[in-house]
A and B are shown apart, each in its own frame.
Chain A
Amino acid sequence: MKGIAGSKESNDCLISVETNDKTTIEINSIVGAFFYNQILKTIEDTLTEQGLKNVKVVVVDKGALDYTIKSRLLTAIERMKEDV
C-alpha cells in the first residue's frame, strides 16, 4: 500500500508513504543542511501521533514549512490507507 501527496514546487514537498517491514524515513531537502533534524522531527511526531509503524517515508522537500510537511504527510497516509 502506498500514498503520495504534495508537489515539487518551491515551498512545498512531495511525500510518499508505503507499508514496510520497519520504519524508515528518507529526507532530501534543499534546506537539509540546516533543517534536516526539524523536518525529521515533524515526520516522526506525526507518525507517532497517527500511531503508525512499519512505513517507509520518502520526503522530497523544496523548503516547505512544518505545517505543510505535516499536512502533506497526513494526506499521503490517508491515500495509503485507501490504496488497496
Chain B
Amino acid sequence: MNILDDILSGREKRSKLIEEYLNFYETVVSIKANMPGTEKNNYLSYLLINAFSFILKSFPSVTYDYHQNGDGPFVLILLNGFEAKSIKRQMISIEEHHKLGRFIDLDVYDRYGTVTIREQKRKCIICDNQASFCMRNQRHTDLEILDIIDKKAKMFYENSISQILNQSIMEELELDPKFGLVTPYTSGSHPDMNYELMIKAKEAIMPYLIEMFFETFKNLKEIDLIRNLQSIGKSAETAMFKATQGVNAYKGLIFNLGLIISSIGYKLSRYEKRTIFDISQSFAKQLFLDYDYSSASYGDKAFQEHSIKGIRGEALSGFSTVKEALKKLFDLSTYSKIQTLIFLIINSEDTSLYQRAGSYEKYLCIKEMFAGLDLNNTEDVMKINDYCIANNLSFGGSADLLVVTVFIKVFNEKYQFLE
C-alpha cells in the first residue's frame, strides 16, 4: 500500500472503531492532531495529542483507547452518563483557548454521529479564510503549515518544561531545614556554596536540560540519541562550572534530571507505550554499556568496596527509589517534601553522603538515625539538622532525587502519560 492509501484506510478504520465503541458507550471524544501532509506520525502529531492528554483528567476514572495508524495517533475517550452537547462545548472552548488548540481536533460523537454546535467554521491556520476552503484549494504548502505548527508546539513545550523545571529545582532549594544542604538561610555543610550560587547554577543548566528534551524528538537510533544527550550533558556541566567558578552545584542533577527529561521527551514525541521509568532504564543501560568502575572517584570507590552504585544504580534500576518516593510526596508542602527527602536519604545510595561520612559504618549509622526520626518532633528535627552541619554531612544525591521526584509529580499533574 502507498502512503495515501495508508492514510485513507487508517481514517476509515478509526471511524469504524468509533462506530463500534458507540455500541457500548453513549459518547466518544476523539483527540487527534490536525496534521497536514502525508507524514501523519511525525513527532508533532504526538506532541500535540500529548499536549491535550490533560483532558483525560477532567473525567473521573476514565476509560480510553490510544492508537496509531497511517492517519496518525489518536486517543478515544469512552464515556457514559455525560451530555454530549455540553462535552462538545467544553472541547470547543479548549480548541479556541489553548495555545495549540488550532492544531488539534477534539471531536465528539454520539449515536447520531458527530456532535456539532460550532456556528463559526474554523479559520485557516495561516490566513483568515475558512479552513476547509484553503485546504480544498491547497492554498498553502504543507511545509508552510508544518513550519508554523513546529514553532508553536516547540514554544509551548519550552515554556511548559522550563516552568516545571524551574519550579522543581526551587521547591528543593527553598526547603529548610535540609540537614547540611544549601537553603536560602544557610550554606549548611557547603562553605563553597550558597543560595545565590545555586540559582546561578540552575540558570546555567536549564537551557541544556530543555535542549535534551528537544533532542529526543529526532528520529535517531537509541544509541546515537544517548551519545547526543551525553554531549549536551557535558556542555551543561561546563556551563554550570563556568557560572559557579568551578563549584559542583548540580552535576548529579544534570545526570538524573537529564535522563528523566529525555525519557519524557522520548515518550511524548512518538508512539511509545513504555513508562518513562522503563525508558530511562533502557537509556541508562546503553549509557553504561562500557562503563569502567575502576576510576578513582568516590562513587567508584563506593561501588568497589561496598557495591554502593549511587546515581548510576538508581538510573539503572529505572529510578525505582524515585518511584517509591512519589508515593510519599502527597503535595508540595514543606512537611511532605522533607518527609520525601528523608525517605530518599534512607533508601537511596547517596555517594555524596558516603564520601562525607568517611566510613561505611558511619554511612549506615546516619541512615539509621534518619530512619528513627519523628518528623512531628520539631526539636529532634532541628537536632539532627545541627548534627549534620556540625559533622559536615550532606546529601547531594538525595537532594537531586527530590528534585526529580518533584519534577515528575508536577509534570504528572499537567499531563497524562498515555499507555
Contact = CB atoms under 8 A, between A and B. Distances in A.
B172 interface: no
B136 A63 contact: yes
Given A7-B15, A9-B14, A72 B8 contact: yes
Nearest to A11: B135
Interface string A40-69: 000000000000000000000011010110
Contacts of B8: 6, 12, 68, 71-72, 75
A9 B114 CA distance: 9
A5 B5 CA distance: 12
Contacts of B141: none
Nearest to A7: B15
B15 A35 contact: no
Nearest to B121: A30
B136 A12 contact: no
A66 to B, nearest CB: 9
A34 B133 CA distance: 8
Contact of B5 (A7, A8, A10, A71): A71
B148 interface: no
Given A71-B4, A71-B5, A63 B135 contact: yes
Contact of A10 (B14, B132, B133): B132
- Interface size grouping (class) on chain B: 10 to 19
B11 A12 contact: yes
Contacts of A5: 12
Contacts of A30: 132
B12 A8 contact: no
A31 interface: yes
B135 A67 contact: no
A5 B107 CA distance: 20
Nearest to A63: B132
Nearest to B5: A71
Interface of A: 5-12, 30-31, 34-35, 62-63, 65, 67-68, 71-72, 75
